[in-house]
Amino acid sequence: MKHRTLAFAAVSLVLVALVAFLAAGCSRSSGGTGVEIKPTWVTAQVDGEQVSVSRSEIDDAQMAHFRVEDQGKKMVFMAYRLGEEIQLRASICPPCRSESFSLAGDVLVCNACGTRFQAATGDGISGACKNYPKAGAAYTVVGDRLAAGIGDLVTAYENTRVAGLP
């Protein structure tokens, strides 16, 4: 009876250690900060061929997502501050169909599958969808607005939907 109690205690201890190890290994935080910035959805303004979002909303949120529709095609984008620069990228993970990413230091993390991408380049680091880099779009700053041409946004979105950047 004493051996059964000891064996049960040993197995229980191993299981607790295994659960703790797996929980630490599956953590999505990275980039050295240990802090993951979740996305905030903002509203984009469309004026002809220009799409803009508030730069102060991006700064406040630190990670902003917004939707754009062009000729019936619905697209999602993300804008985030990385150091002194704002990055503007397509926000889609085609294999897992996610449209949401978080920022963990200098790493983008897909909120559905956990695939990780370099925030500065959009290149895949690890995970099931790493072959679908997040393409960037050119933008200009006009007052408090970050403005991009609809053509540049469509190109970034389409480039992200295909494995590898063109």
* Domain residue limits, the chain: 36-161
Alpha carbon distance 103, 35 (integer Å) = 8
User: Does the structure show a pLDDT above 70 at 2?
Assistant: no
pLDDT at 44 over 90: yes
Q: Look at residue 35 in the predicted model and tell me its pLDDT.
A: 82
The closest alpha carbon to 161, from 132, 129, 131, 137, belongs to 132
User: What average pLDDT does range 86-101 have in this prediction?
Assistant: 96
User: pLDDT value at position 1?
Assistant: 56
The DSSP symbol for 163 reads S
Q: Which of 34-38, 83-87, 153-157 has the lowest mean pLDDT?
A: 34-38
What architecture is the 36-161 domain classified under in CATH? 3-layer Sandwich (2.102)
Distance (Å, rounded) from C-alpha 147 to C-alpha 44? Answer: 10
Q: Is 89 left (phi over 0), alpha (psi -120 to 50) or beta?
A: beta
Q: Distance between CA atoms of 70 and 149, rounded to whole angstroms?
A: 11
This prediction has a pTM of: 0.78
- On the question of pLDDT at 5 being above 60, the answer is no
What is the per-residue pLDDT for 123? 97
For position 166, what pLDDT does the model report?
73
